[in-house]
Amino acid sequence: MARVTFREDRCKGCELCKLVCPQKIIISADYVNSLGFRPATVKEQEKCTGCTLCALICPDIVIEVEKEVEVVVGKSINERQ
Ligand code: SF4
Ligand code: SF4
């Protein structure tokens, strides 16, 4: 499960993140931020794979991607014997 968040107050609406998202889940909001731009935001958050492409391409460090890591706890092969 991944979660993507945007610091909308810093977004200048360049839409680079929209272009690179393989899931096509980034959209422009229907309002303007304090800079006068329509900030990027995400729809259908559950479809985010956590690929981080959007965060990497953003020139203004607007996007943060969090990804849940599955931790598997078990015994090593030597301990099983
Ligand atoms: S992390 Fe990947 S899938 Fe998720 S919104 Fe960004 S580009 Fe799209
Ligand atoms: S790449 Fe960054 S600045 Fe450009 S629209 Fe996306 S979030 Fe906003």
User: Taking the model in full, what pTM does it have?
Assistant: 0.86
Cα–Cα distance for residue pair 66/77, rounded to 1 Å: 32
**For position 68, what pLDDT does the model report?**
85
**Rounded to a whole number, what is the distance in angstroms from the first to the last CA of the chain?**
35
Atom 8 in ligand 1: residue holding the nearest Cα: 21
Class of domain 2-80: alpha beta
Compute, in angstroms, the gap from residue 6 CA to the centroid of ligand 1.
12
Helix (H, G, I), strand (E, B) or coil at 13: coil
Does 57 contact ligand 1 (Cβ within 6 A)? no
**For position 51, what pLDDT does the model report?**
96
Token duo for residue 78: 């030597």
Query: Which bound ligand lies closest to the C-alpha atom of 16?
Result: 2
The residue ranges of every structural domain in the chain are: 2-80
Q: How far is CA 62 from CA 4, 14, 32, 72, 73, in A?
A: 10, 11, 15, 32, 35
**For position 79, what pLDDT does the model report?**
65
Walk along the chain (81 residues) in steps of 10 and give the mean pLDDT of each run.
95 98 98 98 96 97 92 72 58
